[in-house]
Structure 1
Amino acid sequence: MTPRSLSATVAVGGVIGVVPAIGVTTILSTAVAARFRLNIAATVLVSYLVQPLQLLLAIPFIRLGISLFGLGELRLSLGEMQRMFKADWLDALNKLWLANLAGIAAWAMLAIPAGVLLYFVLIPLLGKVLPRPRVDAGVAQGTPVEISTGKE
């Protein structure tokens, strides 16, 4: 892989791997990698490797979404959620669903700028780490190379 394609793969997998919706990273990273002709296996692997960050960033994304979309009455403490479920579990599920959607929306607003930044940071780093492709000495010096088509 070239540094550009590998950095795109890592950027896409990394950004999709932290989406605050558990269970959608495989499908989403596969679809995006297929659309942009990236290495699907590597993209999914990177999204799996950053899943601990998904768990760490879920609450901050949800809190950001709550503040962006004016869902200020919802607090995400354990005691508050237990109280909500004891009072009315359907209403609690509805509020938590809306909070999660707000978190996904906050992630979506940050995903493209973060992915682009990660892509451009990784290109020079991976350019130094990845081995250079070998060029045949005859081709590099401009010597004509005979290609056989098999129809002789």
Structure 2
Amino acid sequence: MSLPAHPEHRHPFLYRSIVLPVLALLRMGASPQKLAWSIALGLVVGVNPLLGSTTLLCLGLALLFRLNLPASQLANHLMYPVEVVLLFPFLKFGAFVFQTGPIPLAPKVLFAEVRSHPWTLIKSVWLWEWHALAMWAIAGAILLPLIAAILTPVLRRMLVRAEAHHAALATPISTF
């Protein structure tokens, strides 16, 4: 005879880590629209190509626009692996659009540049970074409202389902 599953282990990890916290925020009174904008902000800021800046940037923007801090930070931190993956495409696309020349990504070339022209390399890296940030800002300006528009009806449906489920649990079962 097997024991019943512990309540925390009934759902997959991602459900427990993402869906349940969002449902908890909805139940605490966060509107679906404000929560959608909070999550969208976290998702967009979370892929910004300036590594190490996302937490503070997301926090500042969420405070500025009076969004839900836990939701924006949850989405922001979930995007870290995507941020790392998108770093080089943002750098390359920025270099392409602004015609700043190729980025020396090969270790031999990079170390040769460090040894022979360190100050020039530092200036170039900052230039590539600013161009990558410009590409991210343009993409973010387009994606942020799009993501929020997609998430708002999804979160509304989640709230309705959660309220219906809660009401069903609260209704006493009649016995014959």
Shorter-chain TM-score tier: 0.7 to 0.9
Q: Encode CA deviations 1:48-85: one digit per residue, 9 max, x unaligned.
A: 11111111101101111101111024333333212211
Residues 111-122 of structure 1 correspond to what in structure 2 (within 5 A)?
111-122=140-151
2:80 corresponds to which of 33, 51, 72: 51
- Give the drift of 1:31: 1.4
Are 2:32 and 1:32 aligned?
A: no
Give the drift of 1:133: 5.8
Gap regions ≥5 residues in structure 2: 1-29, 165-176
Which of residues 43, 66, 90 in structure 1 aligns to 2:119? 90
Partner of 2:43: 14
RMSD of aligned residue pairs (Cα, Å): 1.8
Could you tell me the percent identity over the aligned residues?
Answer: 28
- Of 96, 103, 122, the residue aligned with 1:67 is 96
Deviates further, 50-59 or 120-129: 120-129
Q: Is the 8 A contact 2:92 2:103 kept in 1?
A: no
Gap regions ≥5 residues in structure 1 = 135-152
Matched positions, count: 134
Give the ranges of 4+ consecutive aligned residues of structure 1 lying more than 3 Å apart after TM superposition.
131-134
Aligned equivalents of 1:62 and 1:38: distance in 2? 29
